[in-house]
Amino acid sequence: MKTLRQNDHGFVQRQLRRLALSEDLNFLLTNRVPRLALTRFMGWFSGIRQPLVRDASMAVWKAFTDLDLSDAKQQRFDSLHDCFTRELREGARPIDPNPAVLVSPCDAIVGASGRIGEDAQAQVFQAKGFPYALTDLLGDSPRSQAAIDTLRGGQFVTLRLTSAMYHRFHAPEALRLEHVTHFSGDTWNVNPIALKRVERLFCRNERAALFTRLADGTPLVLVPVAAILVASLRLRALPQALNTRYRGPDELPCDAAYARGQEMGHFEHGSTVIVLAPPGFALAAGAVPGEPIRMGRPLLLRAQA
């Protein structure tokens, strides 16, 4: 019996060592490379409209992911980029009509979530033991500071898009986009391994803060964060792409109204959307950390008055 327990313990230890080695290798391959150069190359390569290049690229992509195009509006694409930014067929993502909830703005895996700190920095977490301040994420402009003041004690949710997912994001409720602040930055991978190892990762990467207001006046901030191989964000309210080549201006006034579930923009590949809500919201029962969620499903629940 003792020998059996020793063998079991040895097996577990070997599995843990293999897992650690796998994580180290993943981190090395995706983050110890010239990230910006590789990202710009991928942006160029994915746009090549040549059938052989497209077919070979998509074959490799499908071999390493669970890519499912059954709900796509079209089944044939001119380039890899067109597949990345695909639209969905009508009705593929039913929007929850309950006025007491904010729906998920995108297909994603639910990541870190919880209460926003009530301290001066309004601290939140990217992973267990890895905090960051909203002042670092949203900047120190008067607009950002005013938004942070309303968010303290509220709720944050991190939504991670994998490479095979639908890459467009939508309004979680009827709202008005009032301002966009662009932050030029790096292109770290945003997978769980990197989030456990790179401090303040979201505050380092290319991103945009979308300052919005719901119909009842409630402020809501969405922060799409770019990553390696993507680093390009397109908003329907702006004519230009926000990416590593964008050189400003970084303060972009907007005045665009969106209905609940209406498309607001898309990533060129996949990354993260951070949702920041003021006090009065809690994570909806179906939004479980570590589990997938689809656009249009309940994400945040309003507190009952």
pLDDT at 269: 66
Question: Percent of the chain beyond pLDDT 90?
Answer: 51
Contact yes or no for 293/107 (Cβ under 8 A): yes
pLDDT at position 25 is: 59
- Total-model pTM: 0.84
Domain range annotation of the chain: 1-32, 101-302
Sign of dihedral through CA atoms 228, 210, 158, 171? negative
| pLDDT for the residue 209 | 97
pLDDT reported for residue 238? 93
Q: Does the annotation count 266 as an active-site position?
A: no
Mean pLDDT is lowest, of 143-152, 199-208, 261-270, for 261-270
Question: Residue 37 has what pLDDT?
Answer: 62
Average pLDDT score, the chain? 84
- Scanning 32-79, the segments in alpha helix (DSSP H) are 35-46, 51-64
Of 57, 96, 107, 269, which one is the catalytic site residue?
107
Specify whether 170 is catalytic: yes
What is the per-residue pLDDT for 127? 87
List CB contacts of 67: < 8 A, sequence separation 6 or more: 58, 61, 164
Secondary structure class of 53 (helix, strand, coil): helix
> What's the pLDDT at 74?
85
pLDDT attached to residue 9: 60
Q: Residue 50 has what pLDDT?
A: 76
- Residue of 82 and 167 predicted with greater confidence: 167
Looking at residue 4, what is its pLDDT? Answer: 43
pLDDT digits (tens, 9 = 90+) for 266-290: 887 668 999 999 999 999 998 999 8
Q: Mean of the pLDDT values across residues 58-78?
A: 80
| Active site annotation includes 271 | yes
- Mean pLDDT to the nearest integer, 77-103: 88
User: Which residue out of 170, 179, 266, 269 is catalytically annotated?
Assistant: 170
- Whether pLDDT at 21 is above 60: no
